[in-house]
Amino acid sequence: MAFGTSSKMFVATIEAILEGRALDVDGDTFKIALFNDTITAPDATVALASTAYGAGVWGANEVSDTTEWPVTGQALDSVTSAISGAVWTFDAADEVSDGTSATLADVRGCLIYSDTDAADSGLCFLSFGGANAVTDGTFTVSFSASGIATITV
């Protein structure tokens, strides 16, 4: 099992938003939870219930620090939703562990999900392209200038 190489939005979440489900991409509190390489490779085409934090492949293999990147993840700050031409972009400020003494091992990827949504539905997952570890330090996820997630039409 492995996290895999893909970074994708969940199709079922897009469908749920289009069908009027209450998921506010620039109003909800979104969290970023970290996962190791023991996880089964995530799939962008799973049913909505399996996109959620704590469900499907996201039910195990989370990586956390007691206080500086706790279980359930860190809340994203400065979340934005914007359209430019044919591209919709979801973005947020880079996420940094709380403090300077985090210890995390085998961080391979993450789930971005709505903590406001009662079901904790996932929006997307990102593969970090290799294992990462911090010891008594800080862990930072630097999001791309292209955003955390995009839809191109």
Q: Which tokens belong to 104? A: 């995390």
Nearest distance from C-beta of residue 139 to other proteins, angstroms: 6
Q: Which of 56, 110, 113, 117 binds other proteins (CB under 8 A)?
A: 110
Could you write out the DSSP letters of every residue in 4-19? -S--EE-HHHHHHHHT
| Gap between the Cα atoms of 46 and 62, Å rounded | 19
Q: Is 12 in the site for other proteins (CB under 8 A)?
A: no
Rg (alpha carbons) of the chain, rounded to whole number: 15
Question: Could you give the string, one character per residue 130-149, with x where binding to other proteins holds by CB under 8 A and - elsewhere?
Answer: x-xxxxxxxxxxxxxxxxxx
**Binding residues for other proteins, total number by CB under 8 A:** 43
Of the pair 22, 144, the CB lying nearest other proteins is at 144
Q: How far is the CB of 81 from other proteins (least distance, A)?
A: 14
Only segment of 21-29, 61-69, 74-82, 128-136 that touches other proteins (CB under 8 A): 128-136
d(CA 93, CA 148): 10
- Spell 37-51 as b/e; 16+ CB within 10 A means b: bebeebbbebebebb
Q: What distance in Å separates the CA atoms of residue 118 and residue 46, rounded to the nearest whole number?
A: 18
Residue ranges that bind other proteins, judged by CB under 8 A: 5-9, 11, 14, 44, 96, 101, 107, 110, 112, 123-130, 132-153
